[in-house]
Amino acid sequence: MSFPKITIKDVAKKAGVSIATVSRYLNNFPLRKDNKDKVAQAVQELNYRPLLYARRLAGGKLNTFGLILPGYEGIFYSFYALEIIREVAAATSGNAIDLHLNIFWDKDTFQSSLADGVILADIINNQRQLERLVEEAIPLVVVNKKIEDPEVSFVAINNFKGAYEAVEFLIHHGHKQIAHFAGDLRVQCAQERLDGYKSALAKNNLEFKEALVRKTNFSRKETREQLEKLFALPQVPTAIFCCSDEVASEVLSFAEEKRIEVPKKLSLIGFDDNPHCLYGNLMLTTIRQPLKAMVQQGVKILKEIIDGQKTPQRVVLDTELIIRDTVGFI
């Protein structure tokens, strides 16, 4: 059994107003209160659901933002990914905006007709997707990455400065053999954290040693493999700066198993300020990155672009060193 499709004409007829009046109501344009009430009642009684594509083509707003996350191993367990989704959802719902989530794996499946604008959470292997959305002239903002080309708005974090401060903090505690567990170096934030590590060493006249840099790809499994290799070296580090708190947590587990006292024998700094890494006997010293502020700024900028703001906005937010239990003097 099929049910008749309700159209905008049906709503107009039931409300006793013109089709143009119904269209203005659906697109949130000002209306006289009596007309607004009549259309609202007709929409409710008929259970009318406007076609999204038609509203977009008619120049109306969908009150929907798209969020595109690049897919990677462990994304559904990632503090960063879950925090981004949570904060974007909170920021949009607070503004009565729906959220359309899309995860980019190896194919560009996002349909720009489903959203008024798009937030791209970093760009990893989806540069062409970004370029396609720019070509389609859909309002967009990139978060967690600085973009030079194409010319778009972004809100990023000063990963270089955060890493520099972390390593300099270790140096000021007397450490000279400082290892770095790096993330996936295809990702801008991981490369900037490595650059900050190198710069802090150079500024303090410490030699950069390739053997002390271990690529973990933000993975606990790879971190464990690199720890075994690192502590098999003739000269082991007295401190480690990690690309994330998850990686630092694996270092703490390793140290406990091998009876390496933290911070007496090994100092440790993470990056993120992940609340899940605060439990246990030792509270992790870390670099706090302002994910909430980054997302809120990104949503604000996207709304301004949709409302007609033309000039790209480029914002870089500072990190904060959070001192806890895992760094000691030597």
Please indicate, yes or no, if residue 328 is contained in any of the structural domains: no
pLDDT in tens, 33-81: 999 999 999 989 998 876 655 555 555 688 899 999 999 878 888 899 9
Collapsing DSSP to helix, strand or coil, 149 comes out as coil
Q: Count CB atoms within 10 A of the CB of residue 244.
A: 29
Please indicate, yes or no, if residue 323 is contained in any of the structural domains: no
Whether 82 and 171 share a structural domain:
no
Report residue 320's pLDDT band, with 50, 70 and 90 as the boundaries.
Answer: very high
pLDDT in tens, 203-233: 999 999 999 999 999 999 999 999 999 999 9
Collapsing DSSP to helix, strand or coil, 157 comes out as strand
Q: Residues 21-44: what's their mean pLDDT?
A: 87
Whether 281 and 181 share a structural domain:
yes
Phi, psi at 273, each rounded to 5°: 65, 55
Q: What whole-number distance in Å separates Cα of residue 122 and Cα of residue 166? A: 23
Query: In sequence order, what DSSP letters do the residues of 249-293 get, joined into one string?
Result: HHHHHHHHHTT--TTTT-EEEEEE--GGGS-SSSPPEEEE--HHH
Phi, psi at 316, each rounded to 5°: -125, 120
Which region holds residue 314: left if phi is over 0, alpha if psi is between -120 and 50, else beta? beta
pLDDT at res. 266: 98
Q: Count CB atoms within 10 A of the CB of residue 120.
A: 27
Whether 274 and 192 share a structural domain:
yes
Whether 212 and 264 share a structural domain:
yes
Report residue 297's pLDDT band, with 50, 70 and 90 as the boundaries.
Answer: very high
Whether 281 and 214 share a structural domain:
yes
- Going by their DSSP bridges, the two strands 98-104 and 314-317 should be labelled as unpaired
Task: Locate 260 and state its tokens.
Answer: 């390496």
pLDDT above 80: residue 148: yes
pTM score, whole prediction: 0.83
Whether 144 and 34 share a structural domain:
no
Q: Residues 99-116: what's their mean pLDDT?
A: 92
Residue 64 DSSP class: E
Q: Residues 117-144: what's their mean pLDDT?
A: 95
Q: Residues 96-108: what's their mean pLDDT?
A: 94
Q: Residues 261-290: what's their mean pLDDT?
A: 94
CATH code where residue 33 lies: 1.10.260.40
Q: Count CB atoms within 10 A of the CB of residue 203.
A: 12
Report residue 95's pLDDT band, with 50, 70 and 90 as the boundaries.
Answer: confident
Task: Locate 154 and state its tokens.
Answer: 């972004």
Higher pLDDT, 91 or 112: 91
Whether 79 and 115 share a structural domain:
yes
CATH code where residue 211 lies: 3.40.50.2300
pLDDT above 90: residue 139: yes
- Which residue bears the tokens 């974090």? 157
Task: Locate 38 and state its tokens.
Answer: 């009549």
Average pLDDT, the chain: 92
Please indicate, yes or no, if residue 119 is contained in any of the structural domains: yes
Please indicate, yes or no, if residue 327 is contained in any of the structural domains: no
Q: Which amino acid is at 25?
A: Y
pLDDT above 90: residue 294: yes
Collapsing DSSP to helix, strand or coil, 166 comes out as helix
Please indicate, yes or no, if residue 87 is contained in any of the structural domains: yes
Whether 78 and 200 share a structural domain:
no
pLDDT at res. 178: 98
The torsion angle over the Cα atoms of residues 236, 240, 246 and 250, rounded to 10 degrees, is 20
Phi, psi at 230, each rounded to 5°: -65, -45
Contact 110, 129 (CB under 8 A): yes
Please indicate, yes or no, if residue 136 is contained in any of the structural domains: yes
Whether 275 and 163 share a structural domain:
yes
Whether 188 and 145 share a structural domain:
no
Number of domains comprising the chain: 3
Please indicate, yes or no, if residue 2 is contained in any of the structural domains: no
Residue 75 DSSP class: G
Q: What whole-number distance in Å separates Cα of residue 1 and Cα of residue 287? A: 60
Please indicate, yes or no, if residue 152 is contained in any of the structural domains: yes
Task: Locate 257 and state its tokens.
Answer: 């198993």
pLDDT above 50: residue 2: no
Whether 297 and 151 share a structural domain:
yes
pLDDT at res. 1: 40
Residue 45 is part of which domain span? 8-50
pLDDT at res. 194: 98
Contact 102, 126 (CB under 8 A): no
Q: What whole-number distance in Å separates Cα of residue 227 and Cα of residue 229? A: 5
pLDDT in tens, 226-271: 999 999 999 999 999 999 999 999 999 999 999 999 999 999 999 9
Give me the count of residues in the chain: 330
Whether 176 and 279 share a structural domain:
yes
